[in-house]
Amino acid sequence: MKEEKGQTAPAEGKLGILLPGMGAVATTLIAGVLAVRKGVAQPIGSLAQMGNIRIGKRTANNYPKIKDFVPLANLEDIEFGGWDVYEDNVYQAAVKAGVLEDKLLQTVRPELEALVPMKAAFDKHYVKNLDGTHVKTYTTKYDLAEQVIDDIRTFKATRDCSRLVMVWCGSTEIYHELSDIHRTLAGFEEGLHNNAPNIAPSMIYAYAALKEGVPFVNGAPNLTVDVPALLELAAVTGTPVAGKDFKTGQTLMKTIVAPGISARALGVKGWFSTNILGNRDGLVLDDPDNFRTKEVSKLSVLEDIFHPETNPELYGDMYHKVRINYYPPAGDNKESWDNIDIFGWLGYPMQIKINFLCRDSILAAPLVLDLALFMDLAKRAGMSGIQEWLSFYLKSPQTEPGLRPEHDIFKQLVTLHNTLRHIMGEDPLTDAAPDDYQDAREAF
Amino acid sequence: MKEEKGQTAPAEGKLGILLPGMGAVATTLIAGVLAVRKGVAQPIGSLAQMGNIRIGKRTANNYPKIKDFVPLANLEDIEFGGWDVYEDNVYQAAVKAGVLEDKLLQTVRPELEALVPMKAAFDKHYVKNLDGTHVKTYTTKYDLAEQVIDDIRTFKATRDCSRLVMVWCGSTEIYHELSDIHRTLAGFEEGLHNNAPNIAPSMIYAYAALKEGVPFVNGAPNLTVDVPALLELAAVTGTPVAGKDFKTGQTLMKTIVAPGISARALGVKGWFSTNILGNRDGLVLDDPDNFRTKEVSKLSVLEDIFHPETNPELYGDMYHKVRINYYPPAGDNKESWDNIDIFGWLGYPMQIKINFLCRDSILAAPLVLDLALFMDLAKRAGMSGIQEWLSFYLKSPQTEPGLRPEHDIFKQLVTLHNTLRHIMGEDPLTDAAPDDYQDAREAF
Amino acid sequence: MKEEKGQTAPAEGKLGILLPGMGAVATTLIAGVLAVRKGVAQPIGSLAQMGNIRIGKRTANNYPKIKDFVPLANLEDIEFGGWDVYEDNVYQAAVKAGVLEDKLLQTVRPELEALVPMKAAFDKHYVKNLDGTHVKTYTTKYDLAEQVIDDIRTFKATRDCSRLVMVWCGSTEIYHELSDIHRTLAGFEEGLHNNAPNIAPSMIYAYAALKEGVPFVNGAPNLTVDVPALLELAAVTGTPVAGKDFKTGQTLMKTIVAPGISARALGVKGWFSTNILGNRDGLVLDDPDNFRTKEVSKLSVLEDIFHPETNPELYGDMYHKVRINYYPPAGDNKESWDNIDIFGWLGYPMQIKINFLCRDSILAAPLVLDLALFMDLAKRAGMSGIQEWLSFYLKSPQTEPGLRPEHDIFKQLVTLHNTLRHIMGEDPLTDAAPDDYQDAREAF
Amino acid sequence: MKEEKGQTAPAEGKLGILLPGMGAVATTLIAGVLAVRKGVAQPIGSLAQMGNIRIGKRTANNYPKIKDFVPLANLEDIEFGGWDVYEDNVYQAAVKAGVLEDKLLQTVRPELEALVPMKAAFDKHYVKNLDGTHVKTYTTKYDLAEQVIDDIRTFKATRDCSRLVMVWCGSTEIYHELSDIHRTLAGFEEGLHNNAPNIAPSMIYAYAALKEGVPFVNGAPNLTVDVPALLELAAVTGTPVAGKDFKTGQTLMKTIVAPGISARALGVKGWFSTNILGNRDGLVLDDPDNFRTKEVSKLSVLEDIFHPETNPELYGDMYHKVRINYYPPAGDNKESWDNIDIFGWLGYPMQIKINFLCRDSILAAPLVLDLALFMDLAKRAGMSGIQEWLSFYLKSPQTEPGLRPEHDIFKQLVTLHNTLRHIMGEDPLTDAAPDDYQDAREAF
């Protein structure tokens, strides 16, 4: 954090939110924000809009709304844009996604119909189960990146935005690991010119955004901006980045329940997680290469919460298995079932079974909104590079090299709150030198 | 907290743990501690024995075991005693409880057989479904209290204990509210002499303990020590107290999951909780008057976590229902099923269903151990009165008058940790003046 | 069965279906039948409309639809009428019930608005949690019965119906047992004149229907037509009757799963059933007296399937508990959770847990339709008295005195099928004298 | 069925039960039968031992035990033998399997220790995840078959058995389809001489058994005896055969619940089934080729119950997915979770979720016993070839060519009962010409 306290620039003018991938999540976000503006719905699930933050001592009883505490962009001042491999306008795409009911969509239909995606930067190699038709043609990937940069500039000018953020809402790309081409900005740009196969479409978007100083969030588990080359670019242009993978559904539940088990020093013998989902996301993940990317993201969670290396008696033999199943009858109503084999006093076994009947896009949409608003705040506060304080929203939080990500959602929340307090020049909650119990309790 | 840092008296000599109620929980605790001493089992679920605590900055990577950090009584130095309405020795009672398997019990059988409960202070009015036969006769309740005091003194002397703690492990008494007789110590003692019907057996034990300066914990939801008269006595004798109701099973899960829902600003429309249990506890709770006591304890949890008064859109209309069902086939294998109706973005409904196949006594036993060890520590550290920092273990934490109890298990854990750091003269974790993100992350 | 084979009268003219109680179930039925007529929905769950029946040998491969095999009233020829304690028309009542979505209701709105309930015969003593305002005034219960008879005649005439059936769709009345007044028709009629308190409103409807020769079905667990006095009347007028309590939700699942457990000679140690429901039915059942009626109906099911008297090792110690909880967030979406403790080889325990997320009225509506159609068929086929072959639809099947009801849904279905075959003069499926395996397999 | 009624040969002398594969299922069976003989446990789950059968009219109230009705081998007269790829004796193997508790095993330990498996006919190609060490060496597969025949003869002689049956309790072999070599006995025998790779070990055992006139049951989903060549051999030697795959766990539940859904004409949109299991069976099925065999077996069940071709509106679009997951923490405690998406009246969706916490070998062991006893009965009754009446026990019942297997467990049970009645010269239950309701009800 390079900012001086209280020196955050105000949220003047309009904020453009650019979304590569305008499927279920993006259309649910856009229709929702428009409906909220019209007063026909509420932005439930958005901490930035609905949540409170405690300021000062407990006895001060001061819990302002976060949106009243920090200078976030107002929902009235948001413009949406994006890219997709299908040419449907946002109303059509929302109907196909089948997340929101017709009644609500009708209240904002004209606005949604007016929003048409730009042609996507697409490469079928990275998403085998999709057939994109509304895609850019290009000679080199560098040329492709320049087209995206042009899109960004045009959007900003025509929509009269003072600031932009970009949030990847596209599908999960196939698994690939860091390779040499991703190590330096110079090497990466050479790769763009040479059409290096290891440069995925999501990287093109990230490159374009960072080049323009537009904060970039990666909502999928792809490598994308989690490579030295693009972090180098973020540093050069002083741009915030965050990733990876919106924390919704089963993993959300996991990072809630696992800290609870750990708090009580209960052991875990096994954790079996299965998912059924039927939307486009599920179709993409039906391909083993794309699933691999997701699996790596989902598996890391427990180890980082349980610390088996310091608690081998409790977590040293934990068996963790994650399955995702494409099951069309579920539609967007993702459902998870977890069986957790724990053990307690003297090693006696017990079980927890959790069935979460959730809705993928309903859980994800407010995360996109919050991430966009907070990234814009970070930019105005002069914070660049990886915004680890937004780990709260992410399944596989991007961290500085060598740092272990924090997955415990309650610790993530404390960090988020304290960062907001810090930005506003408020004292973080301290617990120094309590001289009676009440003060000790003030610790959080 | 009256102590000076680092001035905690060492844990020299033997610690006697006195248990009113030697049924499933108490016998599981005793057999377990003896088995742990013999090296045939581990005290899983005991934070005091198995848990770690972070000291210093995250980068210091210093996570000692709690038992190595604070001067707790050693398991080798514990003596057990107690009272029960049945005359079975602890081995017989453990066999009847059916919690631990024969193989484990055999390893400590002689020691268990040597432990015989003292005659109980009992009043069938308070527990209609039990027929106690191994009970004290008395003329006045004051006389009864003196008998208990004699028991305490005799136990301490014959077992050569330097310190004692008492933990109520008896059944839930019927619901009764605070009445005049409970308001002052003088009035209470007069009531003892007059056989006031509002003085429950658990209050007799508490009175006797506090009179002797023995820390007292109430593991059931009864009023017991949560009355001004007995707190007055605790202040007089400088004795720590804590209560009420061990946090196990369904409520444990609730205080894990509810903070997670709240963290994400998701709304709650309804929460339905049902339990099936088949042990003596279930039999007692099959009586509506006894269930009422438990219900009040279990219902309060959610309100204190969700704060509907500050979040009316999210939690203002929450419908919360708790049911407990006596179901003999379950035995000690208590099982809970929760259906949680939540709503997210734009009000769309989702559901979480949790089936917890737990074991009542396996979850409760390590709580008794931890509470005993920490209460003994508190006493040696000079802390008297309500030990709110032990809320972590309790379903309905006793607080100073006018204070709202904290139910969020993660906040409870931070308080517990910080109190331990404080006792040891360690700086609580601070997050003052971070000048980069890493420091901000140090906040907890 | 008094009919001669093949002598069933044809279904000429219109069939009037009269429904005492026009709440969620009745309005869902009516709106549904109208929607089916318009071709905008299908009568799923109606065996009479969607089901097939095998005729002849398996190798004949002849599986006509039931509605093509027996002469049922055509959906086009049905007229609906009824009574309710609220004056809402059927459209308004359907909107309040909240079962069907607006889109579907709009397709049949004018027809539904045209249907207005007649004033109900009501007695708050029998349904404490309802406040009826749209009710008949009367001097004696005989007078009240005559008003209902008038209603029936007027309906038949004004709607130009050739036949009528009546199906009780009202709430569950409080528990009361058979008393002297219910033993003879003469005594019952005297009771009507004397305003005997033991004559419940549902009995008034049944009396009126039977007096007019209108087949009567009791869809709730009330005593109603399950008394000698009214069966005497049914015999006098040659009218079919059936009851009690539509088999939906949890009990439906039970009579499916229990026969399966029994088939495999697996033992049952306990069966715990809980329900959450939030509609008017749930509100009524929140009163212990009304719940008692339902509980008796629900509890009988397992004993009659498992026959503990002939299988004491397997079912002699079964503990069966049923709970119903009023939980408004559920609305009409009734939900059940069953925990079944079974045991297998050498007594080893296993568990089955079933969570049925059902919709009360969606399950009940097609049962009302089928019962109405089959009762009309029975009447035309000359069958009077208790129609035990319709046990398939009922939670607590009414039987001839001394006969044990059959609860196994698969045996109930065979009986239903064979009765239909019998009515049509078809050979029931026989398995006499197989001379090779194939023929043996022809047995069903 | 070639037998004349009542001409079944009596069960004189000892019956040898030969088990290829002496893992969890086989050892649980053997230890269990021995424990039952000693009177320390009961053969729960065995229809042959615990089940009743109705004889005559319902009013006759005649429900003898099946074992008292048909002349089955007495448990006292059974000798066990078998083959395994590990050399552990049955006690050691039972301990490793971890199904039965030590206390029970000790009661029959000497008998179990005396039972040592013969060296197995093994081919790692068919079971990649097992490393057999206790295996026969051979030059040709014909030579291998002759070794097995020698084993059979030696066992029969040394154990003094009058009759034998063989039940395959080995692991699931990899998926392979019928090929030319399996079409004729002559071709098959030539293949044995030529070491044809398509001849799996299970076929060698089946060949050896049938050659010796020993009834053979296939408890796994392998092809094994479901090939023309071996059926030809069965016909030549007049030997009964049955298969495939013991119906336990999830599929058992499916064939109970699916007939119930179908009975009520409810539609099915999707059925998702997942399993977790941790025993040797799970390890073997972790290999995709072996899982393929199992998957085919498990998937066929629903189609044959729902008949989508005659009920396209209800079952035409059903999506059925089955997953099996190797999850070591489960051990032998197999667990299944099913999510069933059904729809009712007007197409409204509902869900059923079933969590079956079962024990694989506890469910399978009594099936092996029943199949062995009934196959021995069939042989004595002169019945040869495919015993389709035993479909009740099998996940993928083997049928005569061109016949559709019956999966509905309730229809399977009727067939089993009627076949037993037929064998004993009893009239099957008939329902011809009912002239009143009671008779109609006599149909089953």
Q: What is the pLDDT of residues B330-374, one digit of tens each?
A: 988 889 999 999 999 999 999 999 999 999 999 999 999 999 999
Contact assignment for D440 to C389 by CB distance below 8 Å: yes
* Residue B20 φ then ψ, to 5°: -75, 120
Please tell me which of the candidates B47, B314, B430 has its beta carbon nearest to residue A44: B314
Amino acid at A334: K
Give residue ranges of D with CB < 8 Å to any B CB.
102-103, 355
- Any chains having at least 3 CB pairs less than 8 A from chain D are A, B, C
Put simply, the answer to whether C339 touches B337 (Cβ < 8 Å) is: yes
Which residue from A minimizes the CA distance to C353? A353
B263 in the same domain as B172: no
Distance between CA atoms of residues C96 and D399, nearest Å:
54
At C338, which CATH number? 3.30.360.10
Contact B311, A50 (CB under 8 A): yes
Give the ipTM of the model, two decimals please. 0.92
Question: pTM higher than 0.90, yes or no?
Answer: yes
Backbone angles phi, psi at D275, to 5 degrees: -130, 145
What percentage of chain A reaches a pLDDT higher than 90? 76
Q: How far is C271 from chain D (nearest CA, A)?
A: 14
Angle between helices B288-306 and B249-263 (to 10 degrees): 20
Cross-chain Cβ contact A444/B444 below 8 Å: yes
Residues of C in contact with D46 (CB under 8 A): 265, 345
**How close, in Å, is residue A378 to chain B by CA atoms?**
12
Q: Which pLDDT belongs to residue C437?
A: 40
Pick the residue from chain C with its C-alpha nearest to B340.
Answer: C329
- Give the pLDDT confidence of B30-48 residue by residue, as tens digits: 999 999 999 999 999 999 9
Same domain, yes or no: A208 and A276: no
Task: Report pLDDT for B297.
Answer: 75
Q: Find the residue in A nearest to D274 (Cα).
A: A274
Domain boundary among A357, A387, A415: A357
Which has the closest alpha carbon to C169: C116, C205, C123?
A: C205
DSSP per-residue letters across A297-364: HHHHHHHHHH-TTT-HHHHTT-EEEEEEEE-GGGTT--EEEEEEEEE-GGG-EEEEEEEEE--HHHHH
The angle, 0 to 180 degrees and rounded to 10, between the axes of the packed helices D409-423 and D249-263 is 100
How many Å lie between the alpha carbon of C64 and the closest alpha carbon of chain D?
A: 9
In a domain, D436, yes or no: no
How far B99 CA sits from the closest chain C CA (Å)?
16
Kindly list the partner chains of chain B, i.e. chains with 3 or more CB atom pairs below 8 Å: A, C, D
Query: What residues in C contact B267, CB-CB < 8 Å?
Result: none
Q: Are strands D14-20 and D161-168 parallel, antiparallel or unpaired?
A: parallel
What value does the mean pLDDT of chain C take?
91
Q: How far apart are CA C427 and CA C430, in angstroms?
A: 8
Q: Looking at the complex, report in whole angstroms how far the Cα of residue C241 sits from the nearest Cα belonging to chain B.
A: 38
Residues in chain B with CB shorter than 8 Å from the CB of A255 are: 260
The pLDDT of residue A423 is 93
The confidence band for A404, taking pLDDT boundaries of 50, 70 and 90, is confident
pLDDT of residue C279: 81
The percent of residues in chain D predicted with pLDDT above 90, rounded, is 76
pLDDT reported for residue B219: 96
Q: Is B38 exposed, middle or buried (0-12, 13-18, 19+ CB in 10 A)?
A: exposed
For residues B244 and B401, give the distance between their C-alpha atoms in angstroms, rounded to a whole number. 15
For residue C77, the model assigns a pLDDT of 98
pLDDT band at A191 (very low <50, low <70, confident <90, very high): very high
Residue C365 has pLDDT above 90, yes or no: yes
Average pLDDT over residues A411-417: 92
User: In this structure, are C173 and C261 located in the same domain?
Assistant: no
- The whole-number average pLDDT for the span C269-290 is 87
- Let me know if residue D4 belongs to a domain: no
* D150/D231 same-domain check: yes
Q: Closest Cα of chain A to D331: distance in Å? A: 11
Residues D105 and D170 in one domain: yes
Same domain as A237, residue A131: yes
pLDDT band at B433 (very low <50, low <70, confident <90, very high): very low
For A365-386, the pLDDT digits (tens) are 999 999 999 999 999 999 999 9
| pLDDT, tens digit, 9 for 90 and up, residues B65-98 | 999 999 999 999 999 999 999 999 999 999 999 9
pLDDT on residue B81: 98
Cβ of A274 within 8 Å of Cβ of D270? The answer is no
Sheet holding C78-84, edge to edge: C118-119, C78-84, C14-20, C161-168, C216-218, C240-243, C385-386
Q: For tokens 């079975």, what's the residue?
A: B88
| Residue C444 domain flag | no
Co-location of B401 and B305 in the same domain:
no
Whether residue D228 sits in one domain with residue D284: no
pLDDT score, position C438: 42
Share above pLDDT 90 across residues of chain B, in percent, rounded to a whole number: 76
C-alpha to C-alpha distance for C1 and C3, rounded to whole angstroms: 6
Whether D383 is covered by a domain: the verdict is yes
**Minimal Cα distance from A441: which residue of B?**
B415
Whether pLDDT at D153 is above 90: yes
Q: What is the pLDDT of residues D158-199, one digit of tens each?
A: 999 999 999 999 988 888 889 999 999 999 999 999 999 999
Contacts of D103 in chain B (CB under 8 A): 102
B337, C341: Cβ pair inside 8 Å?
A: no
- Structural domains counted in chain B: 2
Given this model, what pLDDT does residue A125 score? 85
Specify the DSSP class assigned to residue C119: E
Task: Give me the percent of chain D exceeding a pLDDT of 70.
Answer: 95
Rounded Cα distance between C61 and D96, Å, is 50
- Residues near B326 by beta carbon (within 8 Å), at least 6 away in sequence: B277, B278, B282, B283, B285, B286
Q: Would you say residue C435 lies in a domain?
A: no
Look at residue D444 in the predicted model and tell me its pLDDT. 34
Q: Which of D41, D51, D256 sits opposite C256 (nearest CB)?
A: D256
The alpha carbon of residue D88 is apart from the nearest alpha carbon of chain B, in Å, by 25
Rounded to the nearest 5°, which phi and psi values hold at B150? -60, -45
Band of residue B400 on the pLDDT scale cut at 50, 70, 90? confident
**Residues of chain B contacting residue A310, judged by C-beta atoms under 8 Å apart:** 52, 63
pLDDT, mean of residues B321-336: 91
Instruction: State how far the Cα of A121 lies from the Cα of A105, in Å rounded to an integer.
Output: 28
Average pLDDT over residues C215-220: 97
Question: Is residue B165 included in any domain, yes or no?
Answer: yes
Q: For B218-238, what is the mean pLDDT?
A: 95
Residue D8 lies in a domain: no
pLDDT of residue B6: 55
pLDDT at position C442: 39
For residue C400, the tally of other CB atoms under 10 A from its CB is 11
Contact criterion met (CB below 8 Å) for C388 and D437:
yes
What distance separates the 2 farthest-apart alpha carbons in chain A? 70
Query: C444 pLDDT band (50/70/90 cuts)?
Result: very low
- Domain end point (choices C308, C328, C357): C357
D170 and D83, same structural domain? yes
Contact between C444 and C428 (Cβ < 8 Å): no
Beta carbons of C330 and B276 less than 8 Å apart:
no
What is d(CA B356, CA C320) in angstroms, rounded to the nearest whole number?
21
For chain C, give the percent of residues with pLDDT over 70: 95
C chain contacts of residue A102, beta-carbon cutoff 8 Å: 103
Q: What is the pLDDT of residues A138-153, one digit of tens each?
A: 999 999 999 999 999 9
Which chain D residue is nearest to residue A341, measuring alpha carbons? D329
Q: Which domain holds residue D331?
A: 249-357
Mean pLDDT calculated for residue range D247-274? 95
SS3 of residue C232 by DSSP: helix
pLDDT at A430 > cutoff 70: no
Same domain, A188 and A303: no
| Six token digits for residue C134 | 């749209």
Q: Which residues contact A28 (CB under 8 A, 6 or more apart)?
A: A94, A97, A99, A100, A361, A362, A364, A365, B345
Q: Kindly indicate the confidence band of residue C289, based on its pLDDT and cuts at 50, 70 and 90.
A: confident
Number of other CB atoms surrounding residue C133 within 10 Å = 11
The whole-angstrom separation of Cα B120 and Cα B133 is: 9
With both helix axes pointing from N to C terminus, report the angle between A228-237 and A185-194 in degrees, rounded to the nearest 10: 110
- Chains with ≥3 CB–CB distances under 8 Å to C: A, B, D
- Give the confidence band of B217 by pLDDT, cuts at 50, 70, 90: very high
Cα distance from A371 to chain D (closest Cα, Å)? 34
Residues A225, A353: one domain? no
Say what the pLDDT of residue D281 is: 77
Residue C142 belongs to a domain with what CATH number? Answer: 3.40.50.720
Among chain A, residues having any CB pair with chain C shorter than 8 Å are: 102-103, 355
Cβ-contact B409, B252 below 8 angstroms = yes
Residue D296's pLDDT band, with cuts at 50, 70 and 90, is: confident
Cα–Cα dist C221/C216, whole Å: 14
pLDDT at residue number C439: 39
Of B278-287, C225-234, D31-40, give the lowest mean pLDDT range: B278-287
Residue B429 lies in a domain: no
Determine contact, residues B252/A263, Cβ cutoff 8 Å.
no
The C-alpha atoms of residue B26 and residue A365 are separated, in whole angstroms, by 49
Average pLDDT, chain B: 91
- D355 contacts in B (CB within 8 Å)? 355
**For residues C355 and C55, which has the higher predicted lDDT (pLDDT)?**
C355
Cα–Cα distance, D248 to B433 (Å, whole number): 63
**D118 and D217 in a common domain:** yes
A434, pLDDT greater than 60 = no
Q: Please name the residues in contact with D227: beta carbons below 8 A apart, sequence gap of 6 or more.
A: D178, D182, D183, D188, D203
The confidence score (pLDDT) of residue A437 equals: 41
How far apart are the C-alpha atoms of A101 and C285, rounded to whole Å?
Answer: 33
pLDDT tens-digit map of D78-121: 999 999 999 999 999 999 999 999 999 999 999 999 999 999 99
Q: Which of B312, B332, B357 finishes a domain?
A: B357
- Average pLDDT over chain D reads 91
CB atoms within 10 A of CB C93: 23
